[in-house]
Every structure is written in structure tokens, then in C-alpha cells.
Amino acid sequence: MPRIHSAAAAARRTTLVAAMLASAAACGVSSEHRRADSLNAALSEQQRVLATQLGEQKDSLMSVVLDADRFLGQIDSSISRVKGLPRRERGKQAEGVLQQQLEARRDMLFKVDALVKRAQSTAAQLAAARRREAGLRDDNAALRDSLGKDERLIAELGQTIQRQLAQITELETNVAQLTEANARLGRDLASSLADNARAYYVIGREDELVKKGIIVREGGMNLLVLRPGRTVHAARALDPALFQHIDAREVTNIMVPDPSKRYRIVSRHSLDAAEVDERRNATTFRGHLRIKNAERFWSASRYLIVIEG
């Protein structure tokens, strides 16, 4: 019984732990979802900023390229104008104008190169952000799949625990019934042992016991005054109310009224299973009756009849 109750307690403690695990798992799911949503939002915002920045840079680059085309057109026009000047004057002016225009074109190319590099960097950042977003999507899918498996596992554990609780409840019912049955058996056994251990004894003079109907005289010759050969026997029907009640498991000494007198056992009990101060034969003795082997002594009869004198 203690093991069953311990199993039941163990089972209840297991149910509480499972509930805490499910709660913790639910909290973990909520936290992971919030973190994933936050990362998604951050990546989306980063991609929006990078895309806007890249668009602005492309517009700037397009504007610079158009300016460069116009600048080249101006150089061609300047060169044409320079061709119409006199040779000596044209040489000096043309050299100065062309040098300025080349330097301006070089500066323009530097700007265009810087814009191209900036646009390339922005495009690379945008691509990296998109790759991170794709990776996050894959991670989110894996996370959702893992969370789904965890939820299914928790649900299966919950069902298993419910089945175990039902089995424990059934076992507790069986144990309660078994306990009650054992209690009844214990009471019945105690009552049976008490009944079996109940013994009765009576000590008195022969005429008193005859008058009470505890013993009867049988046989012998009728010589008016004496009846030679007469025997005394226990009556066939004995009334327990006329005897002293004892528990043979506890009472091992039968006290006689006067230890100096002689007593004789009329019932079937034998002095071989008892001790006395003086024993004359199998049934006659002096002194108190001390029972050595209660089971053997009382096996002959539950009613001990002792005649005084």
C-alpha cells in the first residue's frame, strides 16, 4: 500500500512538472516568436533604407553621367571655337581651355567613380540584407517546425500523463478496496483468534457442581447410602455463564481456593501439559495449576472442571 501511495504521489509530482514544462515551453515559444518578429521588422526597415539610398545614389549617378555628356559636348564646342582663332593665338588659348576642360573632366570622373563605388557598396549591403532575410526566413521555418514538434511532443506527454493518472486512480480504488478487505479479514481473524483463545474453568465441591448441572454422576451399585463404582463426568451441555472466562493466550495460571487441599480434574485435561506443587496421578494434584503448553492443555476441551476434595 505505501508503494502505491508513493507511486500516486510520484505520478502527481510528475503531472505538476509536466504542467510547468508546458508553461515554460509556451513562454519560450512566445519569446522566440517576438524575437523573430523583431528581427524581421529590423531587416525589413534596413532593406527599405538601403533600397531608398541605392535609388538616390543611382539618381545621382545618372545626373552626373548626364552632366558628363553635356560637359563633353561643351568640350567639343569649345574645340570647334578654338579652331577658328589665328594660329598663334589659337595655340595658347586652345592649350589653356583644353587643360581646364581635361582637369574638370578628371574631377568629374573621380566623382563618377566615387558614386559608382558608393552605389556598389549600397547594392552589396542590400544583397547581404536580403541574404540575411532569406536565412532568417529559413531559421524561422526551422524554428516553426521545431516548435510544432515540441507542441506535438507536449500534447503527447499530456495524453500519456492523463492515461497514467487514470491508471493511478483505478489502482487507488483497488487499493482502497483491498485495504478494506484486509481490514475485514484482520477483524475476522482477531475475532476468530479471540474465540479460539477463549477458555472456561470452574472449581468447586462435587455436590455444588452437580447441583449446577456442570457435572453428573453415573453408574455404581445402589446400596441406599453408598453407590460403589459411581463415576463423575462433565455434563453434555455446559452453560458458559457458570464458568470463569479467560483468554488462554494470556492466562497461564489457574489459582485454586486452597493450595493445601487436594483437587481432581473431571474434564479431559491432562496434567502432562501443566505444573503443580504435588501430583498424585494424571488428574489429582495439590497447589495452583500452572499451564506450560496452553495449546496442548486446552486442546482436549475449552471447559476445565476441577472438583475440590
Give per-residue pLDDT as tens, 234-244. 999 999 999 99
Asked if the model's pLDDT at residue 22 lies above 60, the reply is no
- The predicted structure's pLDDT at residue 82: 47
- pLDDT, residue 200, reads 96
62 confidence band (pLDDT: 50, 70, 90) = low
Q: Is the pLDDT reported for residue 98 higher than 80?
A: no
Q: What is the pLDDT of residue 284?
A: 93
Q: Which three cell numbers stand for residue 258?
A: 486452597
Element (H, E) at 10: helix 2-83
What does the pLDDT read at residue 71? 60
Q: Examine the pLDDT at 34 and tell me if it is beyond 50.
A: yes
At CA 222, angle to CA 221 and CA 227, rounded to 5?
Answer: 65
What is the pLDDT averaged over residues 186-195?
A: 87
| pLDDT greater at residue 204 or residue 113 | 204
Would you identify the CATH topology of the domain 2-191? Helix Hairpins (1.10.287)
Report the pLDDT value the prediction gives residue 3, as an integer from 0 to 100: 45
Instruction: List where CATH 1.10.287.1490 sits in the chain.
Output: 2-191
**pLDDT for 223 beyond 90:** no
Torsion 46-50-56-59 (CA) sign: negative
**How many Å apart are CA 116 and CA 64, to the nearest integer?**
10
* Euclidean distance between CA atoms 153 and 111, whole angstroms: 62
Whether residue 94 has pLDDT greater than 70: no
Q: Quick one: which of 230, 243, 251, 262 has its CA closest to 305? A: 243
Worst-scoring range by mean pLDDT, 22-36, 153-167, 239-253, 255-269? 22-36
Q: Identify the three-state secondary structure at position 263.
A: strand
* Contact indicator for 271, 169 with CB cutoff of 8 Å: no
**pLDDT band at residue 13, thresholds of 50, 70 and 90?**
low
- Select the more confidently predicted residue: 13 or 256: 256
Residue type, 45: E
- Amino acid type, 135: G
Per-residue pLDDT, 12: 54
Which range, 67-71, 99-103, 157-161, is most confident? 157-161
Mean of the per-residue pLDDT values of the chain: 77
Q: Whose CA is closest to 129, among 35, 54, 59?
A: 54
Are 129 and 43 contacting, i.e. CB atoms less than 8 angstroms apart? yes
What digits encode the pLDDT tens for the residues 249-304?
999 999 999 999 999 999 999 899 999 999 988 889 999 999 999 999 999 899 99
